[in-house]
């Protein structure tokens, strides 16, 4: 069973969320919460106009939404994550060259993005205490599965992650943690 907030991604949505700056804006809104274009420009070092453009693209794709209740006046626009996860496969675009290209490039960018997060941790781990060094993990296993069982594993992992998202730690020592997993057919 897929989480309620998971939805299939079409090529235009995939393209919207896999632009490097837009990906960073999504992350900032998920981790830090709602923000204005000015606040996001300050955090990213980008111009406000550039941030506004990318926020509009993300909003059009349904990735983020306005948070009008946070505005102090009619000119102020706050944005928040629409918090959904997306799923796609190159197979969804079979026979559609442009869609296949978008999905393939997005998959490649995801791998780079995931690896970059781990590399950043490796570079910065000296700034964390021993408890974080012991808690951080990497796991890998060779499993023998059918496509149906791999789909089941993916859904179960997604549900577990969703549970932790919906019930975040509120302790003072809690910090954002990036979790990802890949399950792909492979050979040693």
> Is 150 inside any structural domain?
no
> Is 138 inside any structural domain?
no
> Is 14 inside any structural domain?
yes
> Is 147 inside any structural domain?
no
Q: How confident is the model at residue 78 (pLDDT cuts 50, 70, 90)?
A: very high
> Is 164 inside any structural domain?
no
Q: How confident is the model at residue 130 (pLDDT cuts 50, 70, 90)?
A: very high
Judged against a pLDDT cut of 70, whether residue 5 lies above it is answered with: no
Cβ neighbours of residue 188 closer than 8 Å, sequence gap 6 or more = 142
> Is 137 inside any structural domain?
no
Mean pLDDT of 88-103: 84
Judged against a pLDDT cut of 80, whether residue 4 lies above it is answered with: no
**103-127 per-position pLDDT tens digit:** 899 899 989 999 999 999 999 999 9
pLDDT at 1: 39
130 torsion bin: left (phi>0), alpha (psi -120 to 50), beta (else): alpha
pLDDT at 111: 92
pLDDT at 83: 74
> Is 71 inside any structural domain?
yes
CATH number at residue 91: 1.10.10.10
The whole domain housing 72 covers 6-128
Q: Count how many domains the chain has.
A: 1
Check if the beta carbon of residue 1 is closer than 8 Å to that of residue 159: yes
Residues 22 and 18: their CA atoms lie apart, in Å, by: 7
Could you count the other beta carbons within 10 Å of the beta carbon of residue 144?
5
Mean pLDDT of 50-75: 94
> Is 154 inside any structural domain?
no
The mean pLDDT of the chain is 90
% residues pLDDT > 70 (the chain): 95
């Amino acid at each position: 069973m897929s989480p309620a907030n998971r939805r299939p991604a079409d090529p235009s949505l995939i393209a919207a969320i896999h632009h490097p700056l837009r990906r960073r804006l999504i992350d900032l809104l998920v981790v830090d919460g709602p923000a204005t274009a000015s606040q996001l420009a300050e955090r990213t070092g980008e111009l406000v106009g550039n941030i506004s453009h990318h926020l509009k693209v993300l909003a059009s794709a349904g990735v983020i939404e306005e948070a009008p209740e946070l505005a102090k006046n009619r000119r102020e626009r706050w944005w928040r994550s629409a918090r959904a996860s997306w799923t796609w496969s190159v197979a969804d675009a079979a026979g559609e060259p442009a869609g296949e290209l978008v999905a393939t490039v997005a998959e490649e960018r995801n791998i780079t993005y995931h690896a970059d997060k781990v590399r950043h941790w490796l570079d910065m781990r000296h700034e964390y205490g021993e408890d974080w060094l012991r808690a951080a993990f990497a796991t890998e296993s060779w499993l023998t599965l059918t496509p149906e069982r791999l789909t089941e594993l993916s859904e179960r992992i997604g549900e577990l992650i969703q549970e932790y998202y919906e019930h975040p730690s509120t302790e003072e020592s809690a910090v954002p943690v990036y979790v990802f997993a890949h399950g792909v057919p492979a050979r040693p």
